[in-house]
Amino acid sequence: MRSWMTSTMRLLVGSALGTIFGSALIAVDTITIVSSLPRTGSANAQTTSMVNGIKMALDEYQRTLTVGGTNYSLTYEDWDDASPERGAWDPAVEAANADKAIRNPDVMVYIGTYNSGAAKIAMPKLNQAGLAMISPANTWPGLTKPNVGEANEPTVYRPSGSINYFRVVPADDIQGAVGAAWAKELGAKRVFVLHDRELYGQGIAKMFQQNAEKLGLTVVGTEGIDGKSGNYKSLINKLRLARPDLVYFGGTTETGAGQLAKDMQSGGLTAKLMGPDAFYNSALINAAGNAALENRVFITFGGIPPEQQTGKGKAFVDAYRTVYKIEPEGYAIYAYECTKVALDAMVRAGKKDRAAILQALRETKNYDGALGKWSFDDNGDTTLALMSGNTVVNGAFSFVKLLGQ
Amino acid sequence: MSDHPTIKIIARFWPHALLAIVLVLPLFGDAIATKLTPIMVFAIVGLGLNVVAGFTGLLNLGAAAFMAIGAYTFAICTVPIYPFQIGFWPGLGVAIMVGAVAGTILALPAMRLRGDYLAIVTLGFGEIITDVLKNLDAITKGTQGLNPVAAPEIPFVTYSISAYKPTYYLYLALLLVAILLCHNMRKSRLGRQWIAVRDDELAARSMGISPARTKLIAFAIGSGLCAFGGAMFASLNGTSIEPSFYDFQQSVVILCIVIVGGMGNVKGVILGALIMVGFNSIILVNLTEWMTRNGWTGNNVLATPSNWKFMIFGLALILMMRLRPQGLIPAQDVEPVTQKPATAGATP
Amino acid sequence: MTVLELDQVTLRFGGLTAVNNVSFRVEKGDIVAVIGPNGAGKTSLFNTITGIYPPTTGRVLINHAVVEQPATLQNKIQWTIIGVVTAIAVTLALNANAIWDAAINAHAITSPFPWGQAFNDACRVLTPSAWTIIPGLVGGFVGASGAWNAWRTARCSPDLVTRVGVARTFQNIRLFRELSARDNVLVGMEPKLHSRAWDGAFRLPPHFREQTEACAKADELLAFVNLGEVADVSAGSLPYGHQRRLEIARALASQPSLLLLDEPAAGMNPTESASLMLLIRKIRELGITVLLIEHDMKVVMGISDRIVVLHYGNKIAEGTPAEIRENPAVIEAYLGKEAG
Amino acid sequence: MTTTELIIQLLITGLANGLIIALIALGYTMVYGIIELINFAHGDVMMLGCFLALTIVGLCGGEQLSPWIALPLLFLTVPFFTAGLNWSVEKLAYKPIREAPKLTALVSAIGVSFVFINIGMFWGGLPMDVFGGGGSAASAKSFPDLFGWSNLLGEQSAVLLTPRDVMVAAVTIPLMIGLTFFINRTRMGTAMRAVAQNPTAAKLMGIDVDRVIGLTFIIGGALAGVASVITALYTGSIHFQMGYRNGMDAFTAAVLGGIGNLPGAVLGALLIGLVRAVMEGYVPNGGQWSNTVVFALLILVLVFRPNGILGSRVREKV
């Protein structure tokens, strides 16, 4: 009687605490995958598409996975690392997400983050806990590569000494180089480099500038602009004074890429506009309209764009269109690939164990996924260096050529 | 508050109950502790703003800037890439001092300004600080943020960084110290000066109080506390985070912490921090997860729970102000600043 | 002995002359009343005496001295220091990136760090150029002139006047509504308190010593004005008559040598004003000189030693109550020409 | 580009941006003058106005719509909507707490601002072509270019003057003159000034204070509505978080000129527009310092003129 009461009490208290604090009751037959992405605020359009990608990957497995002969049900939790009062990722929330993931024994893989700044907070925590983290969107090179970012990167993110962080998206140093080479190919001689003074934008602008100078292009100006500014009409004046034939903007559609394209057009500037993968989403076309973009904007993007996909990539894009009735955003396929490679690693690990799964991820070689055939290198980076050059035609992204071959 | 006995008991004893809960909560697992520590940090920042906005009545819309100053000072003093590396405790000390000096510098030109002019100057100061932190990238590493900064440490005790309980109790102790200091200051001569200046500046001047000096002290102490909180936050996250984190939005959150609980009283700030930060990191998160788990979601923009966060947050603020315009703990319920000391006998 | 002397004081607001060339003296131990029709400039005169509006021309002498922060050498040094510090700060801030790059980022983080070398490198970056000097000079100028401007506006301010022993009450009661009655008195005691901010914050002995003493004194004063019962009630919730008396207690708390009462009997019934007269006499017995503005002629004639009459900002008469009662100019001012 | 041309160009962009800020600032400063509330939601009212404008344009044919139909259509609908919105906000969120401490209303305004931001985001999810089909609700939306790209000074001219620069001036300047006339010459304007001076006295004089406050919010909202149409046409894109920046610039302008003072708000706004134009359009790396310069200027002005450039000194009644 007594023991019955105690256990009931424990169950009640446990479930009460569970509902209050969100720690799910321990269920032996569940593998949980969580994603930590900014779901509130301006990145919402992009992350919604990414979450859709993750869900599609799980649905392909009917939400069950056989690992080492045991059937596990796959649960997915879509965590928000943004807070409404900030309208963007929030360090406190990201830290809490990481801690929550560590403390939930069912969580085997942490998909995220969207912002490299957020990754810097989650990475050391997850590293110590030995939980695998795969990012579909972080591109700051310093997160994985030595001698590219700050002096102490990436060792600061690896307090345990081993690697637990992987990314399926090529880092900015590759993209910067590819962008600069393409700019030269497009006939640009004078380039003006703009950035939005955010971690991502400033980083990639720096990479582009270094490579452009290496290739003999003249950088006629660099400028940090305000991503929240209402319009860039004044800035256009400065650009007109510098007479560039290509403007590179290290920024995102959330930090004014569309507005910049629009103002360049209305300001009578004929220079081309080049941007990184963060331009590659429908939000850019929504924001700037076709007229300001058509054959004026040039975008580098890791991997092959949806409409050029063949095989698994094409299957993903088609399935996405069928299920969600809209085009997938740029990062959706990466989120999808993250999830797929994680599930693959679990199967290869053969047991529900963080260390084993981590080891299996490290050993991922020649994975044949939606993005093509690729491996994780020793830093946890994808070996995928193939990028595509795109522009906009008729209100839709249009593939121009493959880059970085 | 209402005269109903139950409410009276709650009103009287909730701080004690809260303290008891907070003391034992980590025993139920680290998950909750990790969520409460940021709330403690924001409570300290709120206490700092409360000295300026609550006690002295100066509307400060730049509290996050002082947090940033604290976080970055602490980071510069402790990161391994710079030669200072003075460690956690000295770092906190320096952060408080730099914060206090920055507060004084801001207050100097702002001293003569009426309420709302001061508000915009502090708002501008906040924008300037974020801009400067971004632009001085040789020092602050711009948008990269500085890391790793010193982790919290307890003197003479060693523990693994991943153990959360020691940090939890350390931060709780620091919060209690901050609460005690604010309480003491309010009950002392300084507190009387602040409230006198807030209630009627001209009358206070006519009583021999120099409002400029009083406001300067309030700004120095308040900014020092905000910087203290900022340094603690940086230490907790292991990085100074990025400059744009300490923007106007953050200042608004801190201001809401102070106002929602009830301006000018210490208990109110604690309650405000619990509600404002806890609402987001506990209630909204769990609500979203619960809705997701029950399949209440879809691909429509309206059917995604996190898309409603702004709305819920905003409506909560409006309703809270509508139902309790004076804040949750109105100033009238607060006992007098100076109570009769036992030793001072009644005069005939 | 003269406690207060007005020497040809004039106060103008734009085109309006509120006080015009008024001179009179108040001797120690006197009760002096200032009367005059509405808008005669009485309250403006009080505000001039207490330093709220410095006189446009003329002087206010309290205990034979003008209360004003003098532009001493110390002030001038202060402005200079603020200017120089601002200049240095602006220069350093504008070159912070370069300095830091040269001094810190250029050196490997070794232990011990080559501080001397770092300092030299920093100095090398800061070689004079237009970019380092001009913004610094501008900043320095702004800093110094800002400090001067702040001093100029605070040169003559009520808190200084209070600190030399002049306390006042207000025509429209200005208590600290959210403080208790006792706290109001304690605020009035400010000029006599010396404990430091940290004494209170850390509860050091000076805080307790002073707190105990001051509270005892405050309770004594509250009892003096018959408010002993309501010491812990917040001032805003006291009845009107109590508030008037509390204002007096608060003013007395600074132990003034001169007390200015601005219409203390306003809104009082005859019984209340009678007890107010008693109170004012009791205050005089404490050795405090009283200057009051009052419309209630019964009070004025009953307690004043001397009366000053203002009309449209001009002093039209001065003398004992008996003299004023007979003065044709005063009668004319109050009742108009026909009656005179 | 010669120096003269450069200066003219900077003046054109600076003044056009300044005039838009001024329209929003007028709403801020009027509301502040009357009830001493910093109406944080004002910028977001303008943002919702932009979304309505885009919806209307979308319903009427998008890019193909002639500006001569679009302009009257928008100016006749959007200001009514924003005025109504502002008025209801006042009735629902501010009026019930008018007696409470000033900061209570401020938090309420912040709350309203958050709600509007959320509504703006949902609005962007409407399944219309102009909203990109509604698939990505949170992204910025392009506003159709109703005016074309011609340079009014001829294609050869180094100075660029577009029809939209002219439109900004042609709409805002008469509006401001009209507003000044309304405030200074009409009965209702006098009542508004009276309430701003002393609400209690105004009430005793038989002025319906509630009505005057309501009217102030209506006028402020209508101005924000006009501003939203102009902004949408001028910048060519709208976003659900655009209210914050526009609101902050406008608020700064209002304070710089002396809050509560209508010409002051316009002057402050033009000043901010020009400073930004020079910083962003000429000074090397000026873009990243333009906020700092604007606010440093504000602090400097307030050190020497604590009530703003045109603000009159408030003499406290003793």
pLDDT above 60 for A13 = no
Query: What span, in angstroms and rounded, lies between the C-alpha atoms of C314 and A54?
Result: 87
Query: What span, in angstroms and rounded, lies between the C-alpha atoms of A357 and C108?
Result: 39
Interface contact flag, D287 A291, Cβ < 8 Å: no
Query: What span, in angstroms and rounded, lies between the C-alpha atoms of B106 and B97?
Result: 14
pLDDT above 50 for A20 = no
Closest by Cβ to A234, choosing from D235, D239, D276? D276
Q: Do the beta carbons of residue A240 and residue A269 sit within 8 Å?
A: yes
- Mean pLDDT taken over chain A: 84
Query: What span, in angstroms and rounded, lies between the C-alpha atoms of B80 and B149?
Result: 8
Interface contact flag, D304 C52, Cβ < 8 Å: no
Residue A359 lies in a domain: yes
- Distance spanning both ends of chain D, measured CA to CA: 59
- Residue identified by tokens 């404002």 is B276
Q: Which of these three, C229, C255, C281, is where a domain ends?
A: C255
CA distance A167 to chain B (A): 19
What is the DSSP pairing of strand A30-37 with strand A70-80?
parallel
Note the pLDDT tens digit of each residue in A52-61.
999 999 998 8
Shared domain check, A101 and A47: yes
> A36: pLDDT confidence band, cut at 50, 70 and 90?
very high
Mean pLDDT of B324-339: 64
Sign of the alpha-carbon dihedral angle for D295, D298, D303, D306: negative
- Identify the pLDDT of residue A182: 94
Query: What span, in angstroms and rounded, lies between the C-alpha atoms of B117 and D281?
Result: 29
Cα angle D140-D146-D147, degrees, rounded to a multiple of 5 = 120
Please tell me which chains touch B, using 3 or more CB pairs under 8 Å as the contact test. Answer: A, C, D
Q: Which of B143, B294, B310 to mutate to test the interface with A (most CBs of A within 10 A)?
A: B143
H/E stretch holding C98: helix C96-100
Residue type, B30: D
H/E stretch holding A332: helix A332-349
- Mean pLDDT taken over chain C: 87
Note the pLDDT tens digit of each residue in A78-135.
888 887 666 678 887 888 889 889 888 889 999 988 988 889 889 988 998 899 999 9
Q: Do the beta carbons of residue A252 and residue A201 sit within 8 Å?
A: yes
pLDDT above 80 for B281 = no
**Chain B neighbors of A40, CB-CB under 8 A:** 306-307, 309-310
Interface contact flag, C109 B136, Cβ < 8 Å: no
What is the DSSP pairing of strand C57-62 with strand C65-66?
antiparallel
Interface contact flag, B282 A202, Cβ < 8 Å: no
- Identify the pLDDT of residue B331: 58
C4 versus A328: the higher-pLDDT residue is C4
Mean pLDDT of A304-313: 74
Interface contact flag, B292 A152, Cβ < 8 Å: no
Shared domain check, A92 and A40: yes
Query: What span, in angstroms and rounded, lies between the C-alpha atoms of C42 and C46?
Result: 6
Q: Look at chain C and report how many structural domains it folds into.
A: 3
Q: Look at chain D and report how many structural domains it folds into.
A: 1
Phi and psi (nearest 5°) for A108?
A: -110, -25
Identify the bridge partners of residue A70 per DSSP, sorted by sequence position: A67
Q: Which of these three, C153, C185, C211, is where a domain ends?
A: C153
pLDDT above 90 for D88 = yes
Q: Which of D292, D300, D318 to mutate to test the interface with C (most CBs of C within 10 A)?
A: D318
Structural domain boundaries, residue C113: 73-153
Structural domain boundaries, residue A77: 28-170+311-374
**Cβ–Cβ contact C165 with B under 8 A:** no
Closest alpha carbon within chain C to D289: C94
What Rg, from alpha-carbon coordinates, does chain A have? 22
pLDDT above 80 for C188 = yes
- Mean pLDDT taken over chain B: 84
- Identify the pLDDT of residue B339: 55
pLDDT above 80 for B288 = no
Query: What span, in angstroms and rounded, lies between the C-alpha atoms of C32 and C21?
Result: 19
The CA-based diameter of chain B, rounded to the nearest angstrom, is 77
Cα angle C297-C298-C302, degrees, rounded to a multiple of 5 = 110
DSSP label of C225: T
**Chain D neighbors of B284, CB-CB under 8 A:** none
Note the pLDDT tens digit of each residue in B168-205.
999 999 999 999 999 999 889 999 999 999 888 889 98
**Chain B neighbors of D259, CB-CB under 8 A:** 116-117
- Identify the pLDDT of residue A270: 87
Chain B stretch 198-227, residues whose beta carbon is closer than 8 A to a beta carbon of chain A? none
Mean pLDDT of A227-236: 85
- Identify the pLDDT of residue A25: 44
Q: Look at chain A and report how many structural domains it folds into.
A: 2
**Cβ–Cβ contact D304 with C under 8 A:** yes
User: ipTM of the assembly?
Assistant: 0.84
C251 versus D137: the higher-pLDDT residue is C251
Mean pLDDT of C91-110: 85
Query: Roughly what angle, to the nearest 10 degrees, separates helices C130-153 and D290-304?
Result: 30
Give the HSE-up count for residue B275: Cα atoms under 13 Å, Cβ half-sphere: 21
Closest alpha carbon within chain C to D296: C139
Residue in D43, A124, C67 with CA at minimum distance from that of residue A110: A124
Shared domain check, A111 and A166: yes
Sign of the alpha-carbon dihedral angle for B259, B261, B266, B270: negative
Query: What span, in angstroms and rounded, lies between the C-alpha atoms of C25 and A19?
Result: 79
pLDDT above 90 for D271 = yes
- Residue identified by tokens 């507190």 is B191
Closest alpha carbon within chain C to B343: C212
Residue A263 lies in a domain: yes
CA distance C73 to chain B (A): 21
Over pLDDT 90: what percentage of chain D?
39
**Chain A neighbors of B244, CB-CB under 8 A:** 88, 198
pLDDT above 50 for B347 = no
Interface contact flag, A117 B143, Cβ < 8 Å: yes
- Residue identified by tokens 């081309």 is A272
| C32-36, D32-36, D38-42: the lowest-pLDDT one | D32-36
A395 versus A260: the higher-pLDDT residue is A260
- Residue identified by tokens 């009460």 is A16
What is the DSSP pairing of strand A190-195 with strand C289-293?
unpaired
Interface contact flag, D246 A263, Cβ < 8 Å: no
Residue D216 lies in a domain: yes
Note the pLDDT tens digit of each residue in D113-160.
999 999 998 898 888 888 877 666 777 888 888 877 788 888 778 888
Cα angle B272-B274-B278, degrees, rounded to a multiple of 5 = 125
Note the pLDDT tens digit of each residue in A332-389.
889 999 999 999 999 999 888 999 999 999 999 999 888 888 899 989 998 887 788 9
Shared domain check, C79 and C103: yes
Closest by Cβ to A84, choosing from B144, B237, B280? B280
Shared domain check, A145 and A58: yes
Note the pLDDT tens digit of each residue in B253-271.
898 888 888 778 888 899 9
pLDDT above 90 for D77 = yes
Chain D stretch 216-245, residues whose beta carbon is closer than 8 A to a beta carbon of chain B? 244
Q: Which of D239, D288, D292 to mutate to test the interface with A (most CBs of A within 10 A)?
A: D239
Shared domain check, A140 and A70: yes
Structure token digits, residue B43: 């409570």
Please tell me which chains touch D, using 3 or more CB pairs under 8 Å as the contact test. Answer: A, B, C
Q: Do the beta carbons of residue B139 and residue C96 sit within 8 Å?
A: yes
**Chain C neighbors of D304, CB-CB under 8 A:** 146, 149
Residue D153 lies in a domain: no
CA distance A21 to chain B (A): 7
CATH topology of domain B18-333: ABC transporter involved in vitamin B12 uptake, BtuC (1.10.3470)
Closest alpha carbon within chain C to B79: C109
Q: Compute how many other C-beta atoms are within 10 angstroms of the C-beta atom of residue B65.
A: 35
The length of chain C in residues reads 340
Residue type, D50: C
Identify the bridge partners of residue A368 per DSSP, sorted by sequence position: A373
- Identify the pLDDT of residue A216: 92
Closest by Cβ to A21, choosing from B32, B242, B309? B32
Closest alpha carbon within chain A to B256: A85
Residue A107 DSSP SS3:
strand
Q: Compute how many other C-beta atoms are within 10 angstroms of the C-beta atom of residue C114.
A: 14
Shared domain check, A162 and A41: yes
Over pLDDT 70: what percentage of chain A?
90
Closest by Cβ to C146, choosing from D303, D315, D318? D303
Shared domain check, C247 and C220: yes
* DSSP letter string, D12-76: HHHHHHHHHHHHHHHHHHHHHHHH----TTHHHHHHHHHHHHHHHHHHTTGGG--HHHHHHHHHH
Q: Which of A194, A209, A234 to mutate to test the interface with D (most CBs of D within 10 A)?
A: A234
Shared domain check, A121 and A155: yes
Residue A6 lies in a domain: no
- Identify the pLDDT of residue B190: 92
pLDDT above 90 for D222 = yes
Shared domain check, C261 and C249: no
Interface contact flag, A44 B307, Cβ < 8 Å: yes
- Identify the pLDDT of residue C307: 93
- Chain A and chain B share a number of CB contacts under 8 A equal to 143
Phi and psi (nearest 5°) for C166?
A: -120, 120
Chain C stretch 188-217, residues whose beta carbon is closer than 8 A to a beta carbon of chain B? 188, 190-191, 193, 195, 197, 199-203, 207-208, 210-212, 215-216
DSSP label of B300: S
**Chain B neighbors of C146, CB-CB under 8 A:** 108-109
Q: Which of B195, B198, B200, B206 to mutate to test the interface with C (most CBs of C within 10 A)?
A: B206
H/E stretch holding C307: strand C306-311
The CA-based diameter of chain D, rounded to the nearest angstrom, is 65
> B344: pLDDT confidence band, cut at 50, 70 and 90?
very low
The CATH number given to whatever domain includes residue C303 is 3.40.50.300
- Residue B210 backbone class (left: φ over 0; alpha: ψ -120 to 50; beta: rest): beta
- Identify the pLDDT of residue D310: 87
Interface contact flag, D318 C43, Cβ < 8 Å: yes
pLDDT above 80 for B140 = yes
The CA-based diameter of chain C, rounded to the nearest angstrom, is 97
Query: What span, in angstroms and rounded, lies between the C-alpha atoms of A228 and A243?
Result: 25
**Chain C neighbors of D288, CB-CB under 8 A:** none
- Identify the pLDDT of residue D317: 56
Residue type, D226: V
**Chain A neighbors of D139, CB-CB under 8 A:** 45, 253, 281-283, 286-287
Phi and psi (nearest 5°) for D65?
A: -65, 135
**Chain C neighbors of B326, CB-CB under 8 A:** none
Query: What span, in angstroms and rounded, lies between the C-alpha atoms of C14 and B339?
Result: 47
What is the DSSP pairing of strand A396-403 with strand C16-27?
unpaired
Q: Output helix, strand, coil percentages for chain A, rounded to the nearest 5.
A: 45, 20, 35
Mean pLDDT of A289-298: 88
Query: What span, in angstroms and rounded, lies between the C-alpha atoms of A165 and C329?
Result: 96
Interface contact flag, B314 D295, Cβ < 8 Å: no
Q: Which of these three, C153, C184, C214, is where a domain ends?
A: C153
Sign of the alpha-carbon dihedral angle for D299, D304, D307, D309: negative
Identify the bridge partners of residue C32 per DSSP, sorted by sequence position: C291, C306
Judging by beta carbons within 10 Å of its beta carbon (0-12, 13-18, 19+), is residue D304 exposed, middle or buried?
exposed
Q: Output helix, strand, coil percentages for chain B, rounded to the nearest 5.
A: 75, 0, 25
D93 versus B13: the higher-pLDDT residue is D93
pLDDT above 60 for B341 = no
pLDDT above 60 for B227 = yes
**Could you state, in order of their start, the residue ranges of all structural domains in chain B?**
18-333
Q: Do the beta carbons of residue A329 and residue A279 sit within 8 Å?
A: no
**Chain D neighbors of A234, CB-CB under 8 A:** 10, 13-14, 17, 276-281
Residue C65 DSSP SS3:
strand
pLDDT above 60 for A35 = yes
Q: In what order do the strands lie in the sheet with A132-135?
A: A64-67, A70-80, A30-37, A107-111, A132-135, A165-167
Residue type, C193: L
Interface contact flag, C212 B344, Cβ < 8 Å: yes
Query: What span, in angstroms and rounded, lies between the C-alpha atoms of B63 and B250?
Result: 8
Interface contact flag, C149 D317, Cβ < 8 Å: no
CA distance A135 to chain D (A): 22
Query: What span, in angstroms and rounded, lies between the C-alpha atoms of D81 and A243?
Result: 43
Interface contact flag, A17 B28, Cβ < 8 Å: yes
Shared domain check, A277 and A255: yes
- Identify the pLDDT of residue A220: 93
